[in-house]
Amino acid sequence: MPALWIAHVTVTDAEAYGKYAELAGPAIAKHGGTFVARGGRFVQLEGKERPRNVVARFPSVEAAVDCYNSPEYQEALDHARGASERELMVVETSE
């Protein structure tokens, strides 16, 4: 079953986070991920607001988790740590 990778982000260091984004995109694509939403307009209805929201579609939960644990994504993530406050989850879709 396909899965969605959903990230809610507050960027605290734009330069470092830019390097994360530069490296993360290819790592996500390498694992079959495609972006559905990336920092677009949103309306916060409940919970903590994060100004950047990203949704990527993967072939499966396992593909998304493999991407997260991959050396390429972990290298990207090194630039996001300390440059952002984030929540990230993977949700299996019903399609």
Could you tell me which CATH class the domain 3-92 is placed in?
Answer: alpha beta
20-48: average pLDDT: 95
Cβ atoms of 90 and 5 closer than 8 Å: yes
Non-local (6+) Cβ contacts of 89 within 8 A are: 5, 6
pLDDT in tens, 59-79: 999 999 999 999 999 999 999
pTM, full prediction: 0.91
Q: What is the pLDDT of residue 67?
A: 98
* pLDDT tier, 7 (very low <50, low <70, confident <90, very high otherwise): very high
> What pLDDT is attached to residue 8?
96
- Encoded amino acid at 26, one letter: P
Place of tokens 């090194």: 78
How is the beta sheet containing 84-92 ordered, strand by strand? 34-38, 52-58, 3-11, 84-92
Instruction: Check whether 95 has a pLDDT greater than 80.
Output: no
